[in-house]
Amino acid sequence: MTYQSEFSASVTDPDRFWLKQSALVDWYEAPTTGVATDDLGIERWFPDGTLNTCFNAVDRHVASGRGDQVAIYYDSPVTNSKASISYRELLSRVAVFAGALAARGVGKGDRVVIYMPMVPEAAVAMLACARIGAIHSVVFGGFAANELAVRLEDATPKVVVTATCGVEVARVIPYLPIVNEAIDSVENKPSTVIVMERPQAGFDPVAGRDITWEAAVAAAEPADCVPVLATDPLYILYTSGTTGKPKGVVRDNGGHAVALTYSMNAVYDVDPGDVYWAASDIGWVVGHSYIVYAPLFAGCSTIMYEGKPVKTPDAGAFWRLIEEYRVKVLFAAPTAFRAVRKEDPEGQLFNDYDTTSLEALYLAGERLDPPTYHWLDTLTQLPIVDHWWQTETGWAIATNPRGLETLPPKPGSATVPTPGFKVEILDPEGRAMAAGEQGAVVIKRPLPPGCLPTVWGHHERFEQSYLNAYPGYYLSGDGGYLDEDGYLFIMGRTDDVINVAGHRLSTGTLEEVVAAHPAVAECAVIGAADDLKGQVPVGLVVLKDGVAMDLASLERELIADVRSQVGAVASFQRAFLLERLPKTRSGKILRATLRKIIDGEPYSVPSTIEDPAVLEEVAAVIT
Ligand code: COA
Ligand code: AMP
């Protein structure tokens, strides 16, 4: 099967194409309909099918004879520990933890927030929710209390699952102070907090609310899989949007299972029994899809790596894992390899390990810059696949579809649209743009299975953010172009989302923190280009009249505020003091122009600007 015929089949008759692919998963009631429009006018996949996601990820592999195969390798250089968990053992752990959740009143449709480091218990908790039809919402362990609170407020979980701490390279991060502060600040409080104890930190249980993981499972009976509708939600994952308030991306059960299982072969060219490693974190969509669900749906062995690409202990960490676990495919963020390259520019550590098991490297989370592409290409002599996707889609919108056909790569391009995603480039009036012309990257509806059907609790935000701009299309928020050969080039966000070391953040959230500083009258936070992290946020600040504060003190206080209210991952380190911000006559801050000035790129003076002289003032301060 070549790529072109598969792609055509997927977009000319999506219903038929995906009904055929639905046979990749096990159903209680197999669907007879592919896609149907619901009462809200949204296309939903497999509306009459029933299944269980956990069954497809775990039970069915034990039933088919993979019980002794490793499901999860846990490798933690920061705690000096390793473990291998077979599918059989995973099944038993998940069933018992599902029983523990059920014993605390969690049932179908109830929410469970998981705030955990990269330990197998995090995956166990996710799968246990899926087993009983509960909806998990994993919150990245690097987020501060305020970010956790916003998510608790929106998801209103019955139970929170956490650990006593996360372990970073140079420090232990106690989680309970963060969890307690977040819970204290929300109205609807979870009734139970299940705490996995780690030797690096203890905790003082809150009476009547907290129970240790150990105690919860000791008292529990294993729970069986509960059939759910394909369209029932599996999880909510909050992601940054244009405003300061994150959007709860909803993932359903059936479309997700079909799409991810399909992707393991079509996109990644892996088979049951292969070792597949996504070096991400379960708090991000890459972790949900390609650390936990997809490799397990496909009967692969996955790796949970609690470490970094560098400093744990050195820039050979990724190569060491490839040798040790015989990894066939590695998926990581470009920033991780920029960090490796910075510490080991000649790639000498690569030669210290036997990496012959590795067949391809996949990169996503941000654009794969051509220098990093060429460095990896020369070093590994393997296919280096830049593939583009988003939390909203849950899987790659564009890729080199190696399982179908390996296309010649073009550095800087995410190759071609994945089967199911009819990608087009539109101008602001909704007209199709010619090959090579840059515009808004959109996807013709219906989106394929696996993509979000709504925003949790705020369907109007889903329509406003993604569907209203171009009727009949999903708006990705990225700009880019298709070249004459149909290759897609993603050139960056057209909104206020920034990507810091592969972490998606909203400048709106950061602006809320900076603007709340008592000395600040007005501010803009802009993503400036950064050699290592891709982008880092920079604050442009106008002080209140009469306030005399030196830049160094202000910067220090803003850094502390961002760390405590958003998290250290935001990497906010720089601010500039301005007399005024450049704005349009209607009062909008000219962010795109500011970004160009900060990055030292040529800029033109927008015709809508209120006072062109401001741009010169700004340029004089920040360049
Ligand atoms: N819990 C708590 N804190 C965390 C955290 C977590 N899960 N993850 C990161 N942090 C903290 C770090 O400790 C660091 O704190 P510090 O400023 O006190 O040192 C801060 O957040 C920034 O961390 P990080 O983004 O990891 O930057 P770094 O400079 O320590 O390391 C890289 C740089 C490139 C090695 C690192 O960013 C990296 O591995 N990036 C890849 C990320 C990735 O895989 N993203 C998923 C996309 S698919
Ligand atoms: P997230 O939702 O965290 O996965 O971030 C999604 C955003 O990251 C996209 O909208 C893009 O802006 C960016 N992104 C992800 N993968 C790529 C890629 N391969 N090339 C360019 N940008 C990417």
475 shares its domain with 589: no
Tell me how far the alpha carbon of residue 135 lies from the centroid of ligand 2, in angstroms.
25
Instruction: Label the pairing between strands 520-530 and 534-543.
Output: antiparallel
Token output for 357: 């098991």
Query: Is any atom of ligand 1 closer than 6 Å to the C-beta of 173?
Result: yes
What one-character DSSP code corresponds to residue 599? T
CA angle 211–216–220, rounded 5-degree value? 155
Closest atom of ligand 1 to 171 CA is: 13
Query: Is any atom of ligand 1 closer than 6 Å to the C-beta of 417?
Result: no
> pLDDT tens digits, residue range 58-97?
999 999 999 999 999 999 999 999 999 999 999 999 999 9
Domain end, chosen from 481, 513, 539, is at: 481
Query: Is any atom of ligand 1 closer than 6 Å to the C-beta of 246?
Result: no
Is the confidence at residue 543, as pLDDT, over 80?
A: yes
Quote the CA–CA distance of 43 and 445 in Å, as a whole number: 8
- Protein residue closest via CA to atom 22 of ligand 1: 569
Work out the average pLDDT over 183-209.
Answer: 97
Q: Pick from 496, 488, 498: which is nearest to 418 by CA? A: 488
SS3 231: coil
The residue segments making up the domain with residue 428 are 3-307+387-481
**pLDDT-based confidence at residue 561 (cuts at 50, 70, 90):** very high
In three-state form (DSSP H/G/I as H, E/B as E, the rest C), the secondary structure along 565-596 is HCCHHHCCCEEEECCCCCEECCCCECHHHHHH
> Whose atoms come closest to the Cα of 332: which ligand?
1
Residue type, position 386, single letter: D
pLDDT at 425: 98
Is the confidence at residue 433, as pLDDT, over 70?
A: yes
What one-character DSSP code corresponds to residue 550? -
**pLDDT-based confidence at residue 1 (cuts at 50, 70, 90):** low
Least confident stretch, 167-176, 201-210, 242-251, 318-327: 242-251
Closest atom of ligand 2 to 493 CA is: 12
473 shares its domain with 506: no
The residue whose CB lies within 8 Å of the most ligand 2 atoms, and thus the one to mutate among 140, 240, 288, 367, is 367
Is the confidence at residue 242, as pLDDT, over 80?
A: no
Higher pLDDT, 40 or 241: 40
Per the CB < 8 A criterion, the answer to whether 21 and 260 are in contact is no
Domain for residue 344, yes or no?
A: no
462 shares its domain with 552: no
Is the confidence at residue 229, as pLDDT, over 80?
A: yes
Count of Cβ atoms closer than 10 Å to residue 51 Cβ: 26
pLDDT at 245: 85
Query: Is any atom of ligand 2 closer than 6 Å to the C-beta of 280?
Result: no
Give 242: exposed, middle or buried? Use CB within 10 Å, 0-12, 13-18, 19+. middle
> Whose atoms come closest to the Cα of 476: which ligand?
2
What one-character DSSP code corresponds to residue 299? T
> pLDDT tens digits, residue range 388-410?
999 999 999 999 999 999 999 99
> pLDDT tens digits, residue range 260-290?
999 999 999 999 999 999 999 999 999 999 9
Closest atom of ligand 2 to 386 CA is: 19
Report the domain count for the chain.
2
462 shares its domain with 541: no
What is the CATH classification number for the domain harbouring 226?
Answer: 3.40.50.12780
Domain for residue 370, yes or no?
A: no
Work out the average pLDDT over 153-168.
Answer: 98
What is the CATH classification number for the domain harbouring 591?
Answer: 3.30.300.30
Is the confidence at residue 362, as pLDDT, over 80?
A: yes
Query: Is any atom of ligand 1 closer than 6 Å to the C-beta of 118?
Result: no
**pLDDT-based confidence at residue 35 (cuts at 50, 70, 90):** very high
Domain for residue 363, yes or no?
A: no
Is the confidence at residue 375, as pLDDT, over 80?
A: yes
253 shares its domain with 293: yes
Question: In sequence order, what are the residues at sequence separation of 6 or more whose Cβ sits closer than 8 angstroms to the Cβ of residue 39?
Answer: none
Query: Is any atom of ligand 2 closer than 6 Å to the C-beta of 504?
Result: yes
In three-state form (DSSP H/G/I as H, E/B as E, the rest C), the secondary structure along 153-177 is HHHCCCEEEEECEEECCCCEEECHH
Domain for residue 335, yes or no?
A: no
Work out the average pLDDT over 339-367.
Answer: 97
- Protein residue closest via CA to atom 13 of ligand 2: 366
SS3 547: coil
Quote the CA–CA distance of 194 and 215 in Å, as a whole number: 9
Tell me how far the alpha carbon of residue 173 lies from the centroid of ligand 1, in angstroms.
13
Tell me how far the alpha carbon of residue 616 lies from the centroid of ligand 2, in angstroms.
32
215 shares its domain with 102: yes
- Protein residue closest via CA to atom 7 of ligand 2: 390
What one-character DSSP code corresponds to residue 521? E
Closest atom of ligand 1 to 308 CA is: 39
Give 607: exposed, middle or buried? Use CB within 10 Å, 0-12, 13-18, 19+. exposed
Tell me how far the alpha carbon of residue 399 lies from the centroid of ligand 2, in angstroms.
12
Tell me how far the alpha carbon of residue 569 lies from the centroid of ligand 1, in angstroms.
6
Query: Is any atom of ligand 2 closer than 6 Å to the C-beta of 365?
Result: yes
39 shares its domain with 92: yes
- Protein residue closest via CA to atom 21 of ligand 2: 367
Percent of the chain with pLDDT over 90: 92
Domain for residue 47, yes or no?
A: yes
Quote the CA–CA distance of 395 and 502 in Å, as a whole number: 16
Is the confidence at residue 498, as pLDDT, over 70?
A: yes
- 335-339, 500-504, 607-611 — most confident range: 335-339
Quote the CA–CA distance of 161 and 289 in Å, as a whole number: 20
Quote the CA–CA distance of 2 and 111 in Å, as a whole number: 42
Residue type, position 167, single letter: V
Query: Is any atom of ligand 1 closer than 6 Å to the C-beta of 330?
Result: no
Domain end, chosen from 481, 511, 540, is at: 481
- Protein residue closest via CA to atom 20 of ligand 2: 367
Domain end, chosen from 450, 481, 512, is at: 481
The residue whose CB lies within 8 Å of the most ligand 1 atoms, and thus the one to mutate among 168, 312, 367, is 168
> Whose atoms come closest to the Cα of 474: which ligand?
2
- Protein residue closest via CA to atom 14 of ligand 2: 366
Tell me how far the alpha carbon of residue 140 lies from the centroid of ligand 1, in angstroms.
11
Per the CB < 8 A criterion, the answer to whether 537 and 507 are in contact is yes
Quote the CA–CA distance of 588 and 608 in Å, as a whole number: 10
Tell me the sheet residues that pair with 488: 482
516 shares its domain with 449: no
Closest atom of ligand 2 to 491 CA is: 21
> Whose atoms come closest to the Cα of 504: which ligand?
2
Least confident stretch, 167-171, 208-212, 243-247, 325-329: 243-247
Q: Pick from 274, 285, 271: which is nearest to 389 by CA? A: 285
Domain for residue 330, yes or no?
A: no
Tell me how far the alpha carbon of residue 461 lies from the centroid of ligand 1, in angstroms.
30
pLDDT at 588: 86
